[in-house]
A and B are shown apart, each in its own frame.
Chain A
């Protein structure tokens, strides 16, 4: 069964009375353990699709399911609970909580999950160490480089052991060396821990590493390619 699935999903945005079609009858299923890139030029609808997968937005038409659960039937609080339990997010602009240290940022998701304090500290430290940023644990986001912040964001996204990590242009603000390192770590997490990754990207480095590339154009899927490892 698919971890996340879009069935005939359309999304229209209305800005000052003018409607813009971001997605048009898109159907896509993401299975467990996939390392998939949603590729396409700006405005193709990849971030919109990622937001729908992440229950951050609602489709104008169609159905989005996570583990077979129709998101349209869930309340605001239930959606929050679902995101907390099953999804992890990595954003282009890192989006760490600026008033929390790296460790606190990573711990925060577990705190929301109700993980006991001692266990979440241990898991946060282990996660930061696994991503090679243990020494940054007590630093706040403004004291870190972009690459370091993005690794903390990855740690935050996966520490809660989500079913799927949704990454929106995760390498866009990183230099090539840092981007490669980050992708190495994500690949390793996918390979060793079976974490499902869905990227929205137009970065060729990400697309080259993806084992499945879904290409979008003007809000529609134009290609869905499985790449041999």
Chain B
């Protein structure tokens, strides 16, 4: 077996094997062109679909990370999202501990709480997010999402809310609203604010149910001066995420829990994994169909050339060489198909490199944090995976016809007309 494989490998390295394979394809140019076209169309569709799919997933993750979560978050070790005020961190020591970490690009302290936003015309249950107005832009893009008004402006007691929440409360810029909350001691309290800016965020949650308040004013409102619920952190390089997590955990000590966005957003991670798995299913479906097409074409080719195969065997062609010629023919077919498929697929990606406008479905998409402009992204795996899978497909698809060719008895083959 090992010797047969070595003979096959040697035969595959011979120039004449490839010359025969190439010329073999030219015998039935229309059939060869059809198989190559099938491979090319399948692959180009796959490349384009995978680029769009990854672009979608990447943008969903980016949206979540850049608009709210950050790359990492720090909470008190027993902090629970359902009771955000219960466990808190001391703001100043936490900031001091993280100040010297070179892997971090930004640190934004936040205080989270829940409450009721009341306007003269409506009331809505909201999440109150106290943010450091100066530090927050080093971690998230919230400040850049202001559609009208200002990122808090200069006056005191200003809030920034989403356009969606403004519609629900029926308020506009400069209008007053009251935040009624239960403070850390459990007492009901409230403060009046004016709407300083309106956001147009990509996710519905942020748009319709979050009120951004200055950190100091939020700490007063909830009665926790100098304390925070979390620190959102941004890293310089995504590859350094785990290293930054370890460094932050070491710097902050045992009382703090550092989590990556992957740990904080398991649903998103599961969705990304599911998209990848669906991608492999699509790969498999396309390449299995491709394999049948190639195998069929090769089988027809071998059948038509039975007599010629008999001649080749009569003149002493070794079986390994015969297999190599059939395999080479399949590889050439697939290589041409892959080349054309890549040209078409990447060409299509290039044509929509600025993104596909999905604003017609923006309302539905925002519920899932999907941006309204879908930009395709090609990963290196989108190039290499089809190459490997295509090569494996060609090898598998050619196996049957190759074995059929080798098993042909020369005398019988020579009798074929």
B318 is contacted by which of A54, A77, A109 (Cβ under 8 Å)?
A77
Question: B173-206: which residues lie under 8 A (CB-CB) from chain A?
Answer: none
Q: Does A102 contact B (CB under 8 A)?
A: no
A residues near B320, Cβ cutoff 8 Å: 77
Q: Does A73 contact B (CB under 8 A)?
A: no
State the CA gap A111–B312 with chains docked (Å).
Answer: 12
- Contact, CB under 8 Å: A99 / B311: no
Chain B interface mostly: helix
Say which size band chain B's interface belongs to: 20 to 34
Stretch at the interface among A35-43, A90-98, A201-209, A221-229: A90-98
The verdict on A80 contacting B23 (CB below 8 Å), with A95-B414, A111-B16 known, is no
State the CA gap A141–B320 with chains docked (Å).
Answer: 26
- Contact, CB under 8 Å: A80 / B319: yes
- Contact, CB under 8 Å: A83 / B311: no
State the CA gap A112–B317 with chains docked (Å).
Answer: 7
State the CA gap A89–B318 with chains docked (Å).
Answer: 16
Question: Which partner residue on chain A sits nearest B308 by CB separation?
Answer: A97
The verdict on A83 contacting B314 (CB below 8 Å), with A57-B411, A108-B16, A111-B16 known, is yes
- Contact, CB under 8 Å: A77 / B319: yes
A109 is contacted by which of B4, B315, B321 (Cβ under 8 Å)?
B315
Question: Which partner residue on chain A sits nearest B311 by CB separation?
Answer: A95
- Contact, CB under 8 Å: B16 / A56: no
User: Distance in Å from the Cβ of B326 to the closest Cβ of chain A?
Assistant: 14
User: Distance in Å from the Cβ of B159 to the closest Cβ of chain A?
Assistant: 79
Q: Does B282 contact A (CB under 8 A)?
A: no
State the CA gap A109–B315 with chains docked (Å).
Answer: 7
Question: A89-131: which residues lie under 8 A (CB-CB) from chain B?
Answer: 89, 91, 95, 97-100, 108-109, 111-113
The verdict on A109 contacting B308 (CB below 8 Å), with A51-B411, A56-B414, A99-B20 known, is no
Q: Mark A38-55, 1 if CB is under 8 A from B, else 0.
A: 000000000000010010
The verdict on A98 contacting B308 (CB below 8 Å), with A57-B410, A108-B16 known, is yes
State the CA gap A209–B414 with chains docked (Å).
Answer: 27
How many A residues, CB 8 Å from partner?
Answer: 27
A residues near B16, Cβ cutoff 8 Å: 108, 111
State the CA gap A41–B342 with chains docked (Å).
Answer: 61
Question: Which partner residue on chain B sits nearest A51 by CB separation?
Answer: B411
Q: Does B245 contact A (CB under 8 A)?
A: no
Q: Mark A133-168, 1 if CB is under 8 A from B, else 0.
A: 000000000000000000000001000000000000
- Contact, CB under 8 Å: A97 / B311: yes
Q: Does A84 contact B (CB under 8 A)?
A: yes
Q: Does B158 contact A (CB under 8 A)?
A: no
The verdict on A91 contacting B316 (CB below 8 Å), with A97-B311, A99-B23, A99-B24 known, is no
- Contact, CB under 8 Å: B27 / A99: yes
Chain A interface mostly: helix
The verdict on A56 contacting B319 (CB below 8 Å), with A91-B311, A99-B20 known, is no
State the CA gap A80–B7 with chains docked (Å).
Answer: 13
- Contact, CB under 8 Å: A85 / B316: yes
User: Distance in Å from the Cβ of B214 to the closest Cβ of chain A?
Assistant: 80
Q: Mark B1-27, 1 if CB is under 8 A from A, else 0.
A: 000100100000010100010011011
B residues near A77, Cβ cutoff 8 Å: 4, 7, 318-320
User: Distance in Å from the Cβ of B27 to the closest Cβ of chain A?
Assistant: 7
- Contact, CB under 8 Å: B318 / A95: no
User: Distance in Å from the Cβ of B305 to the closest Cβ of chain A?
Assistant: 9
A residues near B112, Cβ cutoff 8 Å: none
User: Distance in Å from the Cβ of B312 to the closest Cβ of chain A?
Assistant: 7
- Contact, CB under 8 Å: A81 / B316: yes
> Interface centre among A81, A84, A108, A112, by most B CB within 10 Å?
A112
A residues near B308, Cβ cutoff 8 Å: 95, 97-98
- Contact, CB under 8 Å: A56 / B411: yes
State the CA gap A83–B27 with chains docked (Å).
Answer: 28
Q: Does B377 contact A (CB under 8 A)?
A: no
Q: Mark A71-88, 1 if CB is under 8 A from B, else 0.
A: 000001100111111011
A residues near B88, Cβ cutoff 8 Å: none
> Interface centre among A80, A109, A156, by most B CB within 10 Å?
A80
A residues near B80, Cβ cutoff 8 Å: none
Question: Which partner residue on chain A sits nearest B26 by CB separation?
Answer: A99
- Contact, CB under 8 Å: B314 / A56: yes
A residues near B390, Cβ cutoff 8 Å: none
Q: Mark B299-313, 1 if CB is under 8 A from A, else 0.
A: 000000001101111
User: Distance in Å from the Cβ of A75 to the closest Cβ of chain B?
Assistant: 9
Given A80-B318, A95-B308, 13 additional A-B pairs, CB 8 A: A51-B414, A56-B310, A57-B411, A76-B406, A77-B319, A80-B313, A81-B316, A83-B315, A84-B316, A84-B317, A87-B316, A89-B314, A97-B311
Q: Which 6 A-B pairs have the closest CB atoms?
A: A84-B316, A99-B23, A57-B411, A56-B410, A83-B316, A56-B411
**A-B residue pairs in contact (CB < 8 Å), sample of 19:** A56-B310, A56-B409, A56-B411, A57-B409, A77-B4, A77-B318, A80-B316, A80-B317, A83-B313, A83-B316, A84-B315, A91-B414, A98-B308, A99-B24, A99-B26, A100-B20, A100-B23, A108-B16, A156-B315
Chain B residues within CB distance 8 Å of chain A: 4, 7, 14, 16, 20, 23-24, 26-27, 307-308, 310-321, 406, 409-412, 414
